[in-house]
Amino acid sequence: MKVAIIKYNAGNIRSVDHALKRVGVEALVTDDHKTILDADRVIFPGVGEAASTMEYLKERELDKLLKGLTTPVLGICLGQQLMCSWSEEGDTPCIGIFDQPVRRFPGDGLKVPHMGWNSLDRVNGALVPSELKGAYVYFIHSYYVPICEDTAAETSYMVPFSAAMQRGNFYATQFHPEKSGDPGELILKQFLKL
Amino acid sequence: MLAKRIIPCLDIRNGKTVKGINFENVVDVGDPVELGAKYARDGADELVYLDITATHEGRKLFADLVRRISEHLNIPFTVGGGIDRVEDAELLLSAGADKVSINSSAVRDPGLVDRIAGGFGNQFVVVAIDARWREDRWTVFINGGRIPTDRELFSWAREVQERGAGEILFTSMNHDGTKNGFACDALRELAGQLTIPLIASGGAGRKEHFVEVFERGMADAALAASIFHYNEIPVPELKNYLKKNNVIVR
């Protein structure tokens, strides 16, 4: 199986690559359009800032490429947020795969960023198996996608939000499966099996 | 619900794990990757690796080690020690580190916090603060607790938060190595002044200390080294104890 990890100006790409190796898959870290189009699975990872990352993607026309993919795509963290239509972070228009806004956590006495292990309170869909209901996964983010028709897993921090999403062949997690111990590895394996 | 985090800390010298008692007298306690993987299996929520190597050669060893850790570990880890420039942080990020911890270098060059946070995001920057209570104030120390500065804990913590730190790691030098419990009053005060997560360090000796640091100290995470390295409190036993005492843990 050919797995492409989209290379861009953000952090933690290496750790996604390492996590895939742990589940037995060699991935290519690339921004080459042909390689991405040829892949069986595409992972769009990320830790970073929305506006500068969107700019980088647009310069390379990776935004259009991603939106047109027909193979299973997995966005992680900032990846999930950029697959939405707009982010409050830097008032940034995003790729628009999920027709949803990305909001900043209001604060309200709780710490921002939402950092650490939180539970998957509701799960549905193909990416997050039902046995992971209640499992803890690792989050680190200040912006979130509200609950919507594309929500595939739900977690609460001040407000309930989309911990995972799905629309057609597009999948996404707000948490980091590559850093989420055994539950995270199960989700990566599940994505490779889709 | 967001869980409280338990973070074993591993001090690294020339690619090996050591633990300093009151920042002096270090002893070798094993291989960093093996030990880290064991902690991950035991339920540690995160790890911190601090490079206390002084030499340039040792630094290169550390970057290689970070790559190996990232290959083997399936939980997040922070690396610190000798990060003086944005390039140092970038090298560790590309090796697979989730966060970098900066301490003395942030005091010497506060703009470093802005530059690393600006380049790689706030979530990537942990500012570690060593402070000692003396003459009615919490004085910030640098160089592994050897040199006092003009800085005071609370104002310095607020400043680095403003500059873009994603998390604060506060070590009370009065408590570190004593095993008599964390600096819960100072921690509570600090947690109340900050809007970013706070990691407590220094003083863990018994399981009750962790309940105290989360309840009274209001910390988001607690870090310890020797009690884990010498298996005085195994991580699974600590997690069970915290659950029984109604602390939310994974």
Average pLDDT, chain A: 94
What is the arrangement of strands in the sheet containing A170-173, beginning at the earlier edge strand? Answer: A27-30, A3-6, A41-44, A73-76, A170-173, A159-167, A151-157, A122-123
**Whether pLDDT at B22 is above 60:** no
Dihedral over alpha carbons B163, A175, A4, A40 (to 10 degrees): -160
Measured between CB atoms, does B221 come within 8 Å of chain A? yes
Measured between CB atoms, does B3 come within 8 Å of chain A? yes
Are B221 and B240 in contact by the 8 Å Cβ rule? The answer is no
Higher confidence at residue A113 or residue A73? A73
Please report the pLDDT score of residue A10 as a whole number. 66
Measured between CB atoms, does B246 come within 8 Å of chain A? no
Measured between CB atoms, does A136 come within 8 Å of chain B? yes
Separation between Cα atoms, residue B101 and residue B89, nearest integer Å? 9
Separation between Cα atoms, residue B241 and residue B126, nearest integer Å? 28
Separation between Cα atoms, residue B83 and residue A68, nearest integer Å? 41
Task: Provide, as residue numbers in chain B, all residues whose Cβ is less than 8 Å from the Cβ of A19.
Answer: 74
Separation between Cα atoms, residue B190 and residue B77, nearest integer Å? 23
Is A111 in Cβ contact with B3 (below 8 Å)?
no
Of A103-112, A125-134, B18-27, B39-48, minimum mean pLDDT range: B18-27
Please report the pLDDT score of residue B122 as a whole number. 87
Give percent helix, percent strand, percent coil of chain A, each to the nearest 5: 30, 30, 40
**Whether pLDDT at B71 is above 80:** yes
State which residues form the domain around B236.
5-244
Handedness of CA A85, A17, B11, B144 (dihedral sign): negative
A40-61 average pLDDT score = 90
Of A107-111, A149-153, A167-171, B77-81, minimum mean pLDDT range: A107-111
CB pairs under 8 A between A and B: 95
Please report the pLDDT score of residue B29 as a whole number. 53
Share of chain A above pLDDT 90, in %: 85
Is B114 within a domain?
Answer: yes
Of B179, B183, B158, the closest CA to residue B168 belongs to B158
Place A100 in a pLDDT band, splitting at 50, 70 and 90.
very high
Pick A181's closest partner by Cβ from B74, B120, B195. B74
Domains held by chain A: number: 1
Please report the pLDDT score of residue A59 as a whole number. 95
Q: Cα angle vertex A136, ends A135, A138, to 5°?
A: 145
**Whether pLDDT at A84 is above 60:** yes
B134-161 average pLDDT score = 96
Separation between Cα atoms, residue B58 and residue B53, nearest integer Å? 6
Of A9-13, A128-132, B95-99, minimum mean pLDDT range: A9-13
Residue with the two structure tokens 């990232």: B70
Is A117 in Cβ contact with B45 (below 8 Å)?
yes
Which B residues 161-190 touch A at CB under 8 Å?
A: 166-167
Phi-psi region of B217 (alpha: psi -120 to 50; beta: other; left: phi over 0): alpha
**H or E element: which one contains B92?**
helix B86-95
**H or E element: which one contains B111?**
helix B111-120
**Whether pLDDT at B20 is above 60:** no
Separation between Cα atoms, residue A185 and residue B65, nearest integer Å? 23
Of the candidates B11, B45, B98, B176, the residue annotated as catalytic is B11
Separation between Cα atoms, residue A172 and residue A164, nearest integer Å? 5
**Whether pLDDT at B23 is above 50:** no
**Whether pLDDT at A108 is above 80:** no
B162-167 average pLDDT score = 96
Burial tier of B231 (Cβ tally within 10 Å: 0-12, 13-18, 19+): exposed
| ipTM of this complex | 0.91
Is B45 in Cβ contact with A140 (below 8 Å)?
no
Are A87 and A94 in contact by the 8 Å Cβ rule? The answer is yes
Place A107 in a pLDDT band, splitting at 50, 70 and 90.
confident
CATH of the domain at B172: 3.20.20.70
Separation between Cα atoms, residue B23 and residue B129, nearest integer Å? 14
Which chain A residue shows the shortest CA-CA distance from B167? A113
Separation between Cα atoms, residue A76 and residue A139, nearest integer Å? 10
Measured between CB atoms, does B157 come within 8 Å of chain A? no
Is B194 in Cβ contact with A47 (below 8 Å)?
no
Please report the pLDDT score of residue A11 as a whole number. 64
* Alpha-carbon distances of A27 from A6, A14, A36, A114, B70, rounded to whole Å: 10, 11, 11, 29, 16
**Whether pLDDT at B118 is above 90:** no
Collapsing DSSP to helix, strand or coil, B228 comes out as helix
- Indicate if B150 belongs to the active site: no
**Whether pLDDT at B30 is above 80:** no
Reported as a single tens digit per residue, the pLDDT across B174-218 is 999 999 999 999 999 999 999 999 999 999 999 999 999 999 999
Pick B76's closest partner by Cβ from A136, A157, A179. A179
Output phi, psi for B147, to 5 deg.
Answer: -120, 120
Handedness of CA B81, B82, B86, B87 (dihedral sign): negative
Of A97-101, B56-60, B150-154, B238-242, minimum mean pLDDT range: B56-60
Which segment, A161-165, B7-11, B23-27, B53-57, is predicted with the most confidence on average? A161-165
**Whether pLDDT at B28 is above 60:** no
**H or E element: which one contains B62?**
helix B56-72
Is B103 within a domain?
Answer: yes
Q: What is the largest CA-CA distance in chain B?
A: 47
Domains held by chain B: number: 1
Pick B124's closest partner by Cβ from A22, A47, A178. A47
Measured between CB atoms, does A52 come within 8 Å of chain B? no
Reported as a single tens digit per residue, the pLDDT across A136-173 is 999 999 999 999 999 999 999 989 999 999 999 999 99
State which residues form the domain around A76.
3-193
Length of chain A: 194
Please report the pLDDT score of residue B59 as a whole number. 72
Is B41 within a domain?
Answer: yes
Which chain A residue shows the shortest CA-CA distance from B37? A181
Separation between Cα atoms, residue A139 and residue A47, nearest integer Å? 11
Please report the pLDDT score of residue B54 as a whole number. 64
Pick A47's closest partner by Cβ from B70, B74, B123. B123
Place B19 in a pLDDT band, splitting at 50, 70 and 90.
low
Measured between CB atoms, does B247 come within 8 Å of chain A? no
What is the CA A8 to chain-centroid distance, rounded?
14
B32-43 average pLDDT score = 88
B149-174 average pLDDT score = 97
Side-chain half-sphere CA neighbours of B47 within 13 A? 33
- Indicate if A178 belongs to the active site: yes
CATH of the domain at A159: 3.40.50.880
Which chain B residue shows the shortest CA-CA distance from A182? B74
